[in-house]
């Protein structure tokens, strides 16, 4: 498995060049984009080892704990030292989902919600964190991320269940998937407010993006309160 390590400065410089050219992220020729991460994918450490499928899946998925959320790094909005990982984002989503569902008694299958939250970013394990400004079409992004999820579970017993769950989230047609998609944006807004209060970062674009995607009255109220704080 190839791995391209870039510093945030290189990513910012490349993003700026791509914006001028109307291009996108650097493709490695295999349909996967350059990672911005703390280290290489731990899955590569298992090469040549015959291990239990749970160990293999964990090592691969664990890369999300090392993979930076690229949007915060663009244009030097947040430094690498302070930037959250993709796994940090999923943790924040889980906290919000637990608190909101328990407090407001929202009628959802929480087991499905929890699974979707944990699984919804698996497309980035091998696909990288593709952002809206990268010039990647929705169709191409779906293909890249689905290939990533299938790669993780291709030898895992019953792994198609997790691929199907990821696809259910991506389709956003069930009530659980719609809720998780809104929590995804609400957590982004919460994190933007943290960065704004901690570092004075200009993250208005993230707040507006989140507001456009949140429809639930409960979530809108929480969003408006957090936006009012900054």
The answer to whether the CB of 18 falls within 8 A of the CB of 25 is yes
In a domain, 121, yes or no: yes
* Residue with token string 């010039």: 135
Please determine, for residue 74, whether its predicted confidence score (pLDDT) is greater than 90.
Answer: no
The answer to whether the CB of 97 falls within 8 A of the CB of 180 is yes
What is the pTM (predicted TM-score) of this model? Answer: 0.84
Q: Summarize pLDDT for 133-180 with one digit per residue, the tens.
A: 899 999 999 999 999 999 999 999 999 999 999 999 999 999 999 999
Segment 212-228 shows an average pLDDT of 97
pLDDT at residue 96, as a whole number: 98
pLDDT band at 187 (very low <50, low <70, confident <90, very high): very high
Asked which of 1-5, 70-74, 93-97, 185-189 is least confident by mean pLDDT, the reply is 1-5
The answer to whether the CB of 107 falls within 8 A of the CB of 219 is no
Q: Summarize pLDDT for 88-107 with one digit per residue, the tens.
A: 999 999 999 999 999 999 99
In a domain, 190, yes or no: yes
pLDDT at residue 35, as a whole number: 60
The answer to whether the CB of 228 falls within 8 A of the CB of 222 is no
In a domain, 137, yes or no: yes
pLDDT at residue 36, as a whole number: 82
pLDDT band at 111 (very low <50, low <70, confident <90, very high): very high
- Tell me the percentage of the chain whose pLDDT exceeds 90: 80
Better pLDDT: 5 or 124: 124
Tokens of residue 212, six digits: 């456009």
Alpha helices in the chain (DSSP H): 8-21, 53-61, 70-73, 86-104, 110-119, 124-127, 138-153, 160-171, 175-199, 204-213, 217-228
In a domain, 33, yes or no: yes
How buried is 102 (Cβ within 10 angstroms: 0-12 exposed, 13-18 middle, 19+ buried)? exposed
Please determine, for residue 208, whether its predicted confidence score (pLDDT) is greater than 90.
Answer: yes
Q: How many domains does the chain have?
A: 1
pLDDT at residue 68, as a whole number: 96
pLDDT at residue 45, as a whole number: 96
pLDDT at residue 7, as a whole number: 45
In a domain, 95, yes or no: yes
CA gap 117, 95 in Å, rounded: 10
Q: What angle do CA 133, 184, 215 make, to 5 degrees?
A: 100
Q: How far is CA 203 from each of CA 3, 70, 122, 190, rounded to the nearest angstrom?
A: 30, 13, 25, 11
CATH number at residue 97: 1.10.3210.10
Q: Choose the most confident range, by mean pLDDT, from 10-14, 36-40, 42-46.
A: 42-46
Q: Under 8 Å CB-to-CB from 55, ≥6 apart: which residues?
A: 46
CA gap 98, 183 in Å, rounded: 11
In a domain, 3, yes or no: no
pLDDT at residue 230, as a whole number: 86
pLDDT band at 76 (very low <50, low <70, confident <90, very high): confident
In a domain, 2, yes or no: no
pLDDT at residue 6, as a whole number: 44
Range of the domain at 195: 8-228
How buried is 38 (Cβ within 10 angstroms: 0-12 exposed, 13-18 middle, 19+ buried)? middle
In a domain, 1, yes or no: no
């Amino acid at each position: 498995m190839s791995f391209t390590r870039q510093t945030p400065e290189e990513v910012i410089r490349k993003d700026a060049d791509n914006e001028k050219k109307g291009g996108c992220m650097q493709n490695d020729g295999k349909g996967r984009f350059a990672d911005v991460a703390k280290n290489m994918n731990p899955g590569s450490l298992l090469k040549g080892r015959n291990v239990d499928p749970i160990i293999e899946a964990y090592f691969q998925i664990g890369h999300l704990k090392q993979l930076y959320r690229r949007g915060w790094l663009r244009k030097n909005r947040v430094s690498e030292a302070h930037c959250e990982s993709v796994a940090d984002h999923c943790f924040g989503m889980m906290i919000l989902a637990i608190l909101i569902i328990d407090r407001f008694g929202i009628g959802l299958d929480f087991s499905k919600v929890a699974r979707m939250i944990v699984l919804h970013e698996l497309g980035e394990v091998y696909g990288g964190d593709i952002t809206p400004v990268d010039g990647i079409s929705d169709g191409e992004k779906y293909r890249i991320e689905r290939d990533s999820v299938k790669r993780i579970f291709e030898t895992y017993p019953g792994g198609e269940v997790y691929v199907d769950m990821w696809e259910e989230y991506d389709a956003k047609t069930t009530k659980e998937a719609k809720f998780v998609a809104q929590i995804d944006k609400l957590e982004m807004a919460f994190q933007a407010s943290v960065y704004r209060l901690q570092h004075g970062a200009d993250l208005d674009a993230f707040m507006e993006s989140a507001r456009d995607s949140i429809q639930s009255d409960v979530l809108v109220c929480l969003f408006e309160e957090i936006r009012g704080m900054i």
